[in-house]
Amino acid sequence: MLDPEIPIVSIVDLGIVRDVSADRVLLTPTYTGCPATLVIETMVRAALDEAGFGDVAIETTLSPPWTTDWITESGKAKLKAYGIAPPTPAGTHAVECPQCGSTATEEISRFGSTPCKAQWRCRDCLEPFDLFKCH
Amino acid sequence: MASLPPIDVPTGATGKGAFDSSAEEARSVLFETLLRLGDDSLILGQRLGEWCGHAPSVEVDLSLANMGLDLIGQATHFLNAAGAAEGRGRDGDALAFHRDVLDFRNCWLVEQPNGDFAQTMARQLLFSTWQQLLFERLTASTDETIAAVAAKAVKEVTYHAELASEWVIRLGDGTEESRRRMQDGLDWMWRFVPELFEMDAVATEAAARGIGADVVAFRADYDARIAAVLAEATLAAPKDQRPILGGRRGHHGEHLGHLLAVMQFLPRTYPDATW
Ligand SMILES: [Zn+2]
Query: How confident is the model over B38-52, as a mean pLDDT?
Result: 97
Mark residue A100 as left, alpha or beta (left: phi above 0; alpha: psi -120 to 50; beta: remaining).
Answer: alpha
Q: Chain A partners of B157 at a C-beta cutoff of 8 Å? A: none
Residue A32 in contact with partner chain B when CB distance is under 8 A: yes
**pLDDT of the residue at B121:** 98
Domain boundaries, chain B: 23-269
Within an 8 Å CB–CB cutoff, is residue A35 touching chain B?
yes
A92 touches chain B (CB under 8 A): no
Q: What is the pLDDT of residue B231?
A: 97
Query: Looking at the partner chain, which of B59, B74, B148 has a beta carbon nearest the beta carbon of A109?
Result: B59
- How far, in Å, are A13, A26, A35 from residue A10 at the CA level? 5, 15, 17
* A119 part of contact set with chain B, CB < 8 Å: yes
Q: Do A109 and B63 touch (CB under 8 A)?
A: yes
Asked whether the beta carbons of residue B153 and residue A32 sit closer than 8 angstroms, the reply is yes
3-state secondary structure of A110: coil
Averaged confidence pLDDT in chain B: 93
The residue extents of the domains of chain A are 73-132
Q: With contact defined as beta carbons under 8 Å apart, do B106 and B247 qualify?
A: yes
pLDDT attached to residue A35:
78
Cβ(A25)–Cβ(A57) under 8 Å? yes
Mean pLDDT, rounded, for B20-26: 85
Contact B59 A62 (CB under 8 A): no
> What is the average pLDDT across B24-40?
96
CB contact under 8 A, B62 and A113: yes
- State the pairing for strand pair A105-109/A57-60: unpaired
What is the C-alpha to C-alpha distance for residues A128 and A122, in angstroms, rounded to an integer? Answer: 6
pLDDT of residue A36: 83
Pick from B29, B113, B46: nearest CA to B266: B46
The closest CB to that of A32, out of B60, B77, B144, belongs to: B77
Q: Name the residue type at position B184.
A: D
> Distance (Å, rounded) from C-alpha B153 to C-alpha B243?
28
Task: Tell me the residue type at A125.
Answer: C
State pLDDT tens for residues A83-108.
Answer: 999 987 655 668 889 999 899 999 88
Of the candidate CATH numbers 1.10.287.180, 3.40.190.10, 3.40.462.20, 1.20.1260.10, the domain formed by B23-269 belongs to 1.20.1260.10
Work out the minimum CA distance from A34 to partner chain B, whole angstroms. Answer: 7
Q: Within a 10 A sphere around the Cβ of A106, how many other Cβ atoms?
A: 9
Q: What is the mean pLDDT of residues A46-53?
A: 92
- The confidence score (pLDDT) of residue B11 equals 57
Asked if A109's CB is within 8 angstroms of B73's CB, the reply is no
Quick one: average pLDDT of B30-34? Answer: 97
CA nearest to A110 within chain B: B63
> What is the share, in percent, of chain B residues with pLDDT greater than 70?
93
Of residues B127, B134, B203, the one with CA closest to residue B161: B127
Q: What's the confidence (pLDDT) of residue A13?
A: 93
